[in-house]
Amino acid sequence: MTKYAIVGFGCAGYHGAREIRANDPEGEITVYSEHALAPYNPMLTTYYAGGRLAYEGAFPFGSMEEIARQLDLTVHQGVRVAKIHGRSREVELEDGSRRVYDRILIATGARAFAPPIPGLRPERALMMRTMDDAVRLRETLERRPVRSAIVVGASMVGIKVVELLTARGIQTSLLDLAPGIFPLAAYPETAREIEGRIAGQGVELHFGASIARTEETADGTLRCSLTDGEFREVELVVLCIGTRANTALVNPEEIRIHRGIVVGPRMETGCPGIYAAGDCCEGGDLQAGDTKIIGLWANAGHQGGTAGRNMAGAEGIFTGNILHNITHFMGMDFIGMGDNRRRGETLVCGTPEGAGLYIRAEVEQGSLAGVNILDDYRVSGAIKNYFYRLLTQGHVSLAPVQRGILLREGLRPGFIKRLEEMIR
Ligand SMILES: Cc1cc2nc3c(=O)[nH]c(=O)nc-3n(C[C@H](O)[C@H](O)[C@H](O)COP(=O)(O)OP(=O)(O)OC[C@H]3O[C@@H](n4cnc5c(N)ncnc54)[C@H](O)[C@@H]3O)c2cc1C
């Protein structure tokens, strides 16, 4: 009987377990999770923190008892794996004890990261990744009235925090060292429109700056000196600066680590029997032709499932993905695909400030480099699928149903025709 171990039980770990069980009804699956919760969706943390979602709503796969029963798992909750010893095929727990495995899936995800800010006590530096983070923010907001806040990081996470604070009537400033919003996904033209709309809802946007240091007054107010010499006084600071892959349990002499654990299309590392999936790993980036962390919920599920199939002896290939974000916030949708640093010929449909769909595609030497979409998430699936097939199959056409969706949503036939002229 094969002994499987899964470390970390979020989206990737859950899908890994499901596929192992689907392909090996007899195997022994042991799950190690550092907290006592069922797998949850980190995307929903801001909805809970803002009071728009009940706590239970963040757990899409049910309770741990149900999952363990359905998939016949042995679950160790509140147990952190300290090290994986690939040569002896053992996991080492924090108390120093060791357990053997035959095949292991590392699905440890990522953690919110922010460099310490002088004067800002860790208790006052809120972040947003885990359910604990969400509980902390919600409790802070409910403990006493908060009137003003700074969110650092104009990322997809940062904007969701801004959204929840603004909805509670909190005067919020969004800061980022970058020159505009969504620096890793939006073209400047799209960013300017989004920024105008957010500012119109009362948010102060302050780019090219971060917090240099804070001073806490007796009543708890945070006096923030900014890196550009400006100054703000607020009651709350939320840092949404970035994430780091959780890779400390891996021995870099056994497994290649770049920003994440590097895996091949079968989600296997270079060390036999060790697989990785989700935000802790770097899988194929189809556009760049190398490996990257693609920190997306669906990506974690696909990668986890692929790893599980291969671990259980079935075939599974995950050819790779494209950087892709879909975010709904403050009454708008923004979708970014591909590499927004690569620019060439610009194809535009609609105007960013006009009502309805706006698409901006950048074409570099005949190939699609990136796409921004505002205000219509319905076209995103068809375009993502087309982009994906372009990169995996070379020159392709849109499927008739996809062309129909694009036309129905208002894309001009000329734009669609140009899109279909792309090469890999
Ligand atoms: C606020 C927010 C908004 C987001 N919005 C979107 C979005 O709009 N679209 C989208 O696609 N994605 C979004 N994401 C990203 C998405 O949630 C992640 O890509 C996805 O959840 C990754 O799943 P995972 O299983 O790899 O990692 P995780 O969900 O991080 O799970 C990893 C688990 O491993 C556990 N663990 C870590 N180390 C150990 C250890 N040593 N021992 C035992 N257990 C360990 C952790 O506690 C955790 O439970 C968002 C994320 C956040 C925080």
> How do the domains of the chain map onto residue ranges?
3-109+246-311, 112-242, 333-419
Tell me which amino acid residue 137 is.
L
pLDDT of residue 350: 84
Strand duo 90-93 + 81-85: pairing:
antiparallel
- Give the Cα separation of 59 and 44 in Å (integer): 9
Q: In sequence order, what are the residues at sequence separation of 6 or more whose Cβ sits closer than 8 angstroms to the Cβ of residue 367?
A: 390, 422, 423, 424
Kindly report the average pLDDT of the chain as a whole number. Answer: 95
Check pocket membership of 156 for ligand 1, CB cut-off 6 A.
yes
Q: How confident is the model at residue 353 (pLDDT cuts 50, 70, 90)?
A: confident
Check pocket membership of 257 for ligand 1, CB cut-off 6 A.
no
Question: Which residue from 35, 135, 156 has its CB within 8 A of the most atoms of ligand 1, so it is best to mutate?
Answer: 156
Name the class of domain 333-419.
alpha beta
SS3 breakdown of the chain: % helix, strand, coil, rounded to 5?
A: 30, 30, 40
Q: Write the residue with the smallest CA distance to atom 11 of ligand 1.
A: 296
Question: Which residue from 246, 326, 384 has its CB within 8 A of the most atoms of ligand 1, so it is best to mutate?
Answer: 246
Q: Write the residue with the smallest CA distance to atom 29 of ligand 1.
A: 10
Q: What is the pLDDT of residues 289-334, one digit of tens each?
A: 999 999 999 999 999 999 999 999 999 999 999 999 899 999 999 9
DSSP bridge partners of 31: 6, 75
Quote the pTM value.
Answer: 0.95
Check pocket membership of 300 for ligand 1, CB cut-off 6 A.
yes
Rounded to the nearest angstrom, the distance between the alpha carbon of 297 and the centre of ligand 1 is: 8
CA 185 and chain centroid, separation: 13
Section 24-48 average pLDDT: 98
Q: Which atom of ligand 1 is nearest to the CA of 160?
A: 1
Which helix H or strand E contains 388, and what residues bound it? helix 380-393
> Can you tell me whether residue 120 is helix, strand or coil?
coil
Q: What is the pLDDT of residues 85-143, one digit of tens each?
A: 999 999 999 999 999 999 999 999 999 999 999 999 999 999 999 999 999 999 999 99
Rounded to the nearest angstrom, the distance between the alpha carbon of 313 and the centre of ligand 1 is: 26
Name the class of domain 112-242.
alpha beta
pLDDT at 352 over 90: no
Using alpha carbons, list the distances in angstroms from residue 311 to 81, 105, 249, 269.
20, 8, 20, 12
Report which DSSP code applies to 39.
P
Q: Do domains 3-109+246-311 and 112-242 have the same CATH topology?
A: yes
Q: Write the residue with the smallest CA distance to atom 9 of ligand 1.
A: 296
Query: 360 phi and psi, to 5 degrees?
Result: -130, 120
Q: Which CATH superfamily is domain 3-109+246-311 in?
A: FAD/NAD(P)-binding domain (3.50.50.60)
Q: Which atom of ligand 1 is nearest to the CA of 249?
A: 41
Strand duo 28-33 + 204-207: pairing:
unpaired
Tell me which amino acid residue 195 is.
E
Q: In sequence order, what are the residues at sequence separation of 6 or more whose Cβ sits closer than 8 angstroms to the Cβ of residue 106?
A: 7, 8, 84, 249, 250, 261, 269, 274, 275, 276, 277, 280, 281
Which helix H or strand E contains 274, and what residues bound it? strand 274-276
pLDDT at 376 over 90: no
